[in-house]
Structure 1
Amino acid sequence: MLKHLLIGLIIGYLTGCSLLPEQGPAPKQLQLQPLSSSTQTQPASSNQSVNMILERPLAPAALMSRSLWYQAQAYELMPFRDHLWTQPLPDQLQQRLEAYLVDQQSGWSIQRDQPGNASGFRLRIHLYDWYLDVERQSLYVNLQVFLLDNQGQVRRQWRWQEEEPLLDNSAPELVNAGQKWLQRWAQALAENLEIFFRQEADPN
């Protein structure tokens, strides 16, 4: 009888322990900020109408999570323990790029990929890498962008494999470097799209 009572007390104690809050502060949550408007990209011509779907970027499972990643040695990525994204990186990229393109190109209609939305073009992004390289103290980004027509044919594609230097190997600095890189990338992508659509409107 005493044995059963002791077992019951131990189980109750362990169950109670599992309901206690975690020790220490919760992970800090970080996010990318809205992009600034660029004066270098010219707005689309008044007779040019562009309707485009911006798909949610495709990425490996690790980048679909809320973890921020660093590489301390080759072929091994680790998540920061005390920091998380407020939402997965692909969602942030989609939101920031959509707002930037709408702001830059008044003649363009940009929509997210949702049921019922149809367009003449689709912008598809493959995000392969986004992590802090400890040895090089830099953000490494590797992604590819495809512009597809309404038949699903690839009309243009662009590839970026770049590094952005960091002041230190920390999660906040990784986000700061990502913000700088994202600003330049969005501007370059907008310029590439502008060139394509102008050529479509006036092949000569």
Structure 2
Amino acid sequence: EVYEHVLRAHEKCLEMCVEGATLRDIHKVSVQMLAKSLRQLGIVNLSKHGVQQIIMQGLYKPYYPHSIGHWLGMDTHDVHTVSALKPLEAGCVLTVEPGLYLPRNVHEIPAQYRGIGIRLEDDVVVRSGGQPPEVISGGVPITVEDVEALVQEGLSGQPGEGFGGSGARGSFPWFQPLHGRTN
């Protein structure tokens, strides 16, 4: 459930990576969506706080402590001096990486969500003429179904459909399927 909330924010933010938008615009949308998710999931007390209050009071920050992403240059973080207010142009490369982190030891968080951390990251190239961005990392599984299939492939040691079918990602004994989680 948490994964699906982060995935929806991720998909919306990817759509926004077009000429003229700014990282700040994209970040604001990610905050809006994730603050709403925190309220819907019962992580931030919904009887006391509306989404705007969650944002204005910074109540989302313990669970989403970073910005939506950053520019990419020759090195991962070498363009830190470029403003988040600079409009995106064709050819710009940036990351989109919303996330929610729900500490195990915060008892105000519903028990079924404690200890979950989700961050979905893609690298994108802004394209010209209103085209959707090119998602450089688009070959990496990201939907719930694809991630679960990959995990099951790793757990079974048997190659599955898609993802090269080689089983090359190995075993993930520490990873549980997203549906039917008990902790």
TM-score class normalised by the smaller sequence: 0.3 to 0.5
Q: Which has the larger radius of gyration?
A: 1
TM-score of the two chains, using structure 1 as the length reference: 0.30
TM-score of the two chains, using structure 2 as the length reference: 0.32
